[in-house]
Amino acid sequence: MKKLLVSCFLFAALAVSAQTGKQVPPAAQPSLLPGQANVEAALKRTLGYDKGVSWQIIDIRPSVISGVADVVISINKQAPQHLYLSAETQNAIIGEMIPFGANPFESARAKLEPADGPARGPEKPAISVVEFSDLECPHCKAAQPIIDKLVGDFPQIRFVFQQFPLPASLHPWAMKAALYSDCAGKTSNDGFWKYINSIFENQGGIALATADDKLKELATAAGFDAAKISACAASPEADARVKKSMELGASLEVNSTPTVFINGRRVQSIANIPYDQLKLLVQFEVEHAGK
């Protein structure tokens, strides 16, 4: 209920309180975007009545619609959400923007071509399914068995796992887990899946202060040389690979996890979709491969 109230108040109150000081032309350039201080002031004016509500401004960037800024925020450390803000009209909408057209997912498929994370499935699949995931994310943990089931039920698809650890302010040890699992994937593709499943299973027992020890322990249990995985995780090469994956996600406007692309179609909250409906969606995309 509180989340619903927050959304309603944001929609109504930001329409009149997101002051930027003057009218501005369409937000086509970063210099025309509302500043962080302006957005912060609007959020305080909108949500400040409730001391139990906190927020973090993750990003302020141009949206694909002229004159509208895409403000990414997290309320009470929950999954990030989009606030589409017109500084000119002083109105805001919370929600997701979707591609729309006869071939709406073509652009996303093209951007996903460089996805090179650990993969399962044929080299020449009917379609690709790409997931951007965070190993500290409980929603990603819930999604993993569903992904596993889809891979089993659709042997003609190829599933690719891309690292996308959320900011440390939300998930403190996610980056470490991304680095360790990246190195595991470079060592053994089969062992990678066993390793990330063990991290998901042990999420509750991992903390930032003990993350290195726990990740090494789980690496050993998954059949890896923990010392080698740890040394690799500390290397600039591993850091560059994880950041490259994060940049790929950012180019697709990924800001929450898990975000899954099925034939280029963005699917979020995959664990909340009834499995029969999800199968219909995957089959539909198989039938519309490349479209």
Please, what are the domains in the chain? Answer: 2-94 (3.10.600), 106-287 (3.40.30.10)
- Inform me whether the pLDDT recorded for 13 exceeds 90: no
187: its two tokens? 């060592």
Residue 7 binned pLDDT confidence (cut-offs 50, 70, 90):
very low
- Inform me whether the pLDDT recorded for 17 exceeds 80: no
User: What is the per-residue pLDDT for 6?
Assistant: 46
- The pLDDT tens digits of the residues spanning 52-99 come to 999 999 989 888 888 899 999 999 988 788 999 987 888 889 888 888
Residue 11 binned pLDDT confidence (cut-offs 50, 70, 90):
very low
Window from 79-83, 116-120, 197-201, 229-233 with minimum mean pLDDT: 79-83
- The pLDDT tens digits of the residues spanning 220-262 come to 999 999 999 999 999 999 999 999 999 999 999 898 899 999 9
User: What is the per-residue pLDDT for 30?
Assistant: 56
Calculate the average pLDDT of the chain.
89
- Inform me whether the pLDDT recorded for 18 exceeds 80: no
Q: Averaged over 211-218, what is the pLDDT?
A: 98
Q: Averaged over 38-43, what is the pLDDT?
A: 92
Q: Averaged over 137-151, what is the pLDDT?
A: 96
User: What is the per-residue pLDDT for 14?
Assistant: 46
Contact 258, 270 (CB under 8 A): yes
Q: How far apart are CA 250 and CA 27, in angstroms?
A: 19
Q: How far apart are CA 79 and CA 261, in angstroms?
A: 18
- Inform me whether the pLDDT recorded for 10 exceeds 60: no
Neighbours of 92 (CB within 10 A): 25
Q: Averaged over 261-290, what is the pLDDT?
A: 95
pTM of the model: 0.78
Q: How many residues does the chain have?
A: 291
Q: Averaged over 164-187, what is the pLDDT?
A: 96
Q: How far apart are CA 79 and CA 166, in angstroms?
A: 10
User: What is the per-residue pLDDT for 31?
Assistant: 54
Q: Averaged over 124-138, what is the pLDDT?
A: 97
Cα–Cα distances in angstroms (integers) from residue 87 to residues 52, 56, 72, in the given order: 28, 20, 15
User: What is the per-residue pLDDT for 24?
Assistant: 36
- Inform me whether the pLDDT recorded for 177 exceeds 70: yes
Buried b (16+ CB within 10 A) or exposed e, 251-261: ebbbbbbbbbb
User: What is the per-residue pLDDT for 90?
Assistant: 81
Q: Which residue has the higher pLDDT, 8 or 254?
A: 254
Window from 73-87, 170-184, 258-272 with minimum mean pLDDT: 73-87
